[in-house]
Structure 1
Amino acid sequence: MTIEPSPLPHAWELYRAGDVQGALRILRRAADALPPAELAPLVRELASASGFDDLAQAAAALVADPEGARQLYDFGYACVERGVSALAVPALCRAMVHQPGRRVLVELAVALEDQGRHAEAVELLQEHDGLTVDWPDRYLLVYNALFAGRLEQAREVFAGLSDPDESWAPTADRIRRILARAAAVPPVDRGDLRGWHYTLTGGLLTTLSSYGFQQGMTGRWAYLQDTFDSCRHGLERLRVALTATGRRPSSVALLPDRDSRILGLAAAQVLGVPTQPYRPGTPDVLVVAYDLDGTDPELRRRLRDRAPGEVLYEHATCWTNPPAVTADVSTLLVRSVVAPWAARMRVTQAHEPERLPADERPAAELADAICTAAGGPDAGDGGTPADPDEVLAAFATRARDTWLTGPRDQVRSPGPVPSSRFA
């Protein structure tokens, strides 16, 4: 039997070399395989270097008492608060063994949820049902059941919950909208990316990746050097979705970042409507974003609450680190994207890498280039199921009565449809 060497020495080497993020990546991957107290000394150093005094103190306390229930809980809690839930899970699991209780249970469920380990969160909460109350504990069971793809279980548990108080009422409304979307357009199976994307986010996904579908990407992109053809195709698929849902925007609202302005100008031409600067609260406009992560954070916060008839369209939606608001329509789901006019790499005929400079033409000229592009779907590797306009239109038609309801909440999890992350 081969014993794998501990990754901790390498993590320490990266930390001492100044690569804090590299060391943290190793710790995240190794967390479940190592005792929390073995991770704690390096976590203390990483937290101190990042100015996270609460986490540094909790790690130091765990080093001093490796099996203390309170120390394990405090360490796990601080890890969740600082966005490193992968390190919290094993500590909170051990705290549950030493001193099981509702507070530890809920924090562990939250940590598992943060990691996208929804099925594990469901099993945990079911196992310790005697410790739970309706809000937020059994709400966490409902939420994680939904994101684990267990619709019937989510419906059954939610139906049995007591009425929430004012602080939890918006959360309950969010669950009702998710369940209503699932009833209107039920996902076909666990691999139905468009169906689950709509159920969980309320957004219409108009295309599936044409590469790697059968190799684990299931319709999502990992890294994409985008093209003018792809942008034009996305606008044509947007037109299909708008027509099927009976939406006719009065104008295109232009966001201030360059990428979104380019795409917004093109959208106005394709749809035959005028443009105007984006102003929060303007009804019946199409707000166009190339990539919401490239927009101003304060502007994204304003987009959470939609005006009547307003539609938010995003061409490239990040699925591994979703933006603070969920678009009503997305062309594609991608981990990392390079806009067609941005600097990029290509391989020459001599098989050498070559860096191409950014296309600095004015936004209006680049918008014209989108409009004159062929705009057809990429043939890809032939493994992605056929997805003609008729299929998208039928889906959007079924969704029209449950679409554009409620605020545009951020959805941090990709849901039950797996895709390779290449992490």
Structure 2
Amino acid sequence: MTDAEELAAIAALIEVSDERAAFARLRGRLGWPRGKELTQMPAWLGLLAELARSHGANQLSDIALAAVRDPDSPDRLYDLGYALIDAGAPSIAASVLWHCLALVGDSEEVVCELVSALESALAYDDAFAVLEQHAALRTRSFLCEYLYAFNAAMTGRLDTTRTVYARLVPDSPETETMRATIGAMLERADRVAGVMPLDARDLRGWHYVLTGSLLSHLSPYGFDEPMHGRYAWLQDSLPRIATGIERLVPLVRAMNAPCVYAPPGRDHEILARAVSARLDLPLVPWPAIGVPAPGVVVAYDLRTLTPADVARLQQRKDDQVFFAHASPWTQDFPIAADVTTLLYQTLVPPWGENTVVDPETREVIQSPPDARSVEDVAAELLASPGLDADDRAADAPSQWDALVAATWPPSVGPRTRLWAGGPVPSNRFE
């Protein structure tokens, strides 16, 4: 289909208010990397403005229209790229910022914003390539040099990360923190050298190096291709959760955690109650103020923690373990758990609303959430035997044991950010 035909098709979808389909097709052409090659930018940005307006994003629409009126203005394109990142459309933002960069050359501001968009789109190889092409800029920009080291790590180029790390000279508390982020990754890589392969299939090893978190379970579905241990959409199961608890228990018993905490929320409370019973430790109330430590903080889904509770877990304390059964992998999160069972894009808990097959009609229907008490659901979880032998074998248990032996327990100090993606690729829903 020609560009003119595609523009007309997207306009027709907007006309009938099919915003989801219109956005998918627009992203397919205007998004990265195809959007780099487009020549009729005003026409595409006009559709973007129209779609944003129909979705109620009037401010974004106005910014896009400003770029339509002046498509050769770096300021207009930069403003639009920035707004698109904020709006959750990093792939389109990257294309817009690429066109902006073509107008301004070696601009630190534009290069860094383009790299930010590419990172959010999990296009770390492309972010690395952009920084590689701006060597002169990196010599005078600490931020660009830091991003070069970071994206080298996110693409598995640890030799480059080490070389650049040696050149980073911080001049403020902020740049000290940035350099320390890279240094911590390299220290963790040294810790697992010879233990983990750190190749393009070593999800566990890279998850630890990048985040400091231990990943106890690898998805067996599409392991060789295209998921490599992560989940896309997952309807969770009690056996999977029970196996995660089973692998957590010896880690906690190696420390002196006196109790179990559950952040507010039914999902967290169910899991924490089961962990408490399995460890034979008391489940104590979540503190109204202060830090939940020492003890085991148990969360079902990391992404559902409130910002206030995340802030209280930012620093790892003595004899504190933070366990999150599930962690997202397609978006950054402010902190990574010390231990997590699995990585997901979309998650449905086993006691939530589930997709099932009606035994009489054979139709796929949605079953209502489990209305039983927290205590009853936790008791059923405790009774689960865990994953079967085949799934356990797919989890590479000897590799898990080796990783734990090399890295546990974690030291006190700030918890690392949970970075999305990494050197091990996986398919995801857009």
- Give the alignment's TM-score, normalised by structure 2: 0.88
Correspondence 1:102-181 to 2 at 5 A: 102=107, 103-132=109-138, 133-181=140-188
- Residue 275 of structure 2 corresponds to 267
Q: In structure 2, do the counterparts of structure 1 residues 158 and 345 end up closer, same or farther at CA, with 3 Å as the change threshold?
A: same
Equivalent residue in structure 2 for 1:87, among 84, 92, 98: 92
For residues 350 and 144 of structure 2, the distance between their equivalents in structure 1, rounded to whole angstroms, comes to 46
- Is 1:253 aligned to residue 261 of structure 2? yes
Moved more, 259-268 or 229-238: 229-238
Correspondence 1:277-316 to 2 at 5 A: 277-279=285-287, 280-316=290-326
Correspondence 1:267-416 to 2 at 5 A: 267-279=275-287, 280-348=290-358, 351-377=362-388, 379=390, 385=394, 387-388=396-397, 390-400=398-408, 403-416=410-423
For residues 183 and 28 of structure 2, the distance between their equivalents in structure 1, rounded to whole angstroms, comes to 35
CA displacement, residues 232-285 of structure 1 (integer Å, 9 cap, x when unaligned): 111001124445xx3242111022200110000000011111111222423221
Moved more, 287-296 or 298-307: 298-307
Equivalent position amino acid for 1:175 in 2: I
For residues 347 and 44 of structure 2, the distance between their equivalents in structure 1, rounded to whole angstroms, comes to 34
Identity over aligned residues, as a percent?
32
SS across alignment from 2:26: helix
Q: Structure 1 stretches of 5 or more lacking a match? A: none
For residues 6 and 329 of structure 1, the distance between their equivalents in structure 2, rounded to whole angstroms, comes to 50
Q: In structure 2, do the counterparts of structure 1 residues 247 and 25 end up closer, same or farther at CA, with 3 Å as the change threshold?
A: farther
Q: Is the 8 A contact 2:207 2:215 kept in 1?
A: yes
For residues 269 and 54 of structure 1, the distance between their equivalents in structure 2, rounded to whole angstroms, comes to 52
Q: Is the 8 A contact 1:316 1:334 kept in 2?
A: yes
SS across alignment from 1:215: coil
State the Cα distance separating 1:404 from its structure 2 match: 4.5
Equivalent residue in structure 2 for 1:221, among 224, 231, 240: 231
- Residue 417 of structure 1 corresponds to 424
For residues 311 and 29 of structure 1, the distance between their equivalents in structure 2, rounded to whole angstroms, comes to 43
Q: In structure 2, do the counterparts of structure 1 residues 412 and 23 end up closer, same or farther at CA, with 3 Å as the change threshold?
A: farther
Equivalent position amino acid for 1:127 in 2: Q
Moved more, 26-35 or 363-372: 26-35
For residues 169 and 212 of structure 2, the distance between their equivalents in structure 1, rounded to whole angstroms, comes to 25
For residues 83 and 159 of structure 1, the distance between their equivalents in structure 2, rounded to whole angstroms, comes to 34
For residues 368 and 247 of structure 1, the distance between their equivalents in structure 2, rounded to whole angstroms, comes to 25
Moved more, 221-230 or 2-11: 2-11
- Residue 64 of structure 1 corresponds to 69
- Residue 37 of structure 1 corresponds to 42
CA displacement, residues 128-165 of structure 1 (integer Å, 9 cap, x when unaligned): 11123242110110111111111110111011111231
State the Cα distance separating 1:3 from its structure 2 match: 5.3
Length, aligned pairs only: 416
Moved more, 258-267 or 359-368: 359-368
Q: In structure 2, do the counterparts of structure 1 residues 248 and 12 end up closer, same or farther at CA, with 3 Å as the change threshold?
A: farther
Q: Is the 8 A contact 2:213 2:339 kept in 1?
A: yes
- Residue 23 of structure 2 corresponds to 24
For residues 248 and 124 of structure 2, the distance between their equivalents in structure 1, rounded to whole angstroms, comes to 32
Q: In structure 2, do the counterparts of structure 1 residues 410 and 46 end up closer, same or farther at CA, with 3 Å as the change threshold?
A: farther
Q: Is the 8 A contact 1:233 1:377 kept in 2?
A: no
SS across alignment from 1:59: helix
Equivalent position amino acid for 2:368 in 1: P
State the Cα distance separating 1:6 from its structure 2 match: 4.8
Equivalent position amino acid for 1:124 in 2: V
State the Cα distance separating 1:194 from its structure 2 match: 0.3
Q: In structure 2, do the counterparts of structure 1 residues 193 and 165 end up closer, same or farther at CA, with 3 Å as the change threshold?
A: same
State the Cα distance separating 1:227 from its structure 2 match: 1.8
For residues 64 and 203 of structure 1, the distance between their equivalents in structure 2, rounded to whole angstroms, comes to 48
Moved more, 250-259 or 293-302: 293-302
State the Cα distance separating 1:343 from its structure 2 match: 2.1
Equivalent residue in structure 1 for 2:78, among 69, 73, 79: 73
Q: In structure 2, do the counterparts of structure 1 residues 258 and 130 end up closer, same or farther at CA, with 3 Å as the change threshold?
A: same
CA displacement, residues 6-62 of structure 1 (integer Å, 9 cap, x when unaligned): 544444344444454553333333223444323211222344456656533332222
Equivalent position amino acid for 1:69 in 2: P
Q: In structure 2, do the counterparts of structure 1 residues 253 and 10 end up closer, same or farther at CA, with 3 Å as the change threshold?
A: farther
For residues 12 and 272 of structure 2, the distance between their equivalents in structure 1, rounded to whole angstroms, comes to 47
Q: Is the 8 A contact 2:251 2:408 kept in 1?
A: no
For residues 6 and 336 of structure 2, the distance between their equivalents in structure 1, rounded to whole angstroms, comes to 37
SS across alignment from 2:225: helix
State the Cα distance separating 1:347 from its structure 2 match: 2.4
Moved more, 363-372 or 99-108: 99-108
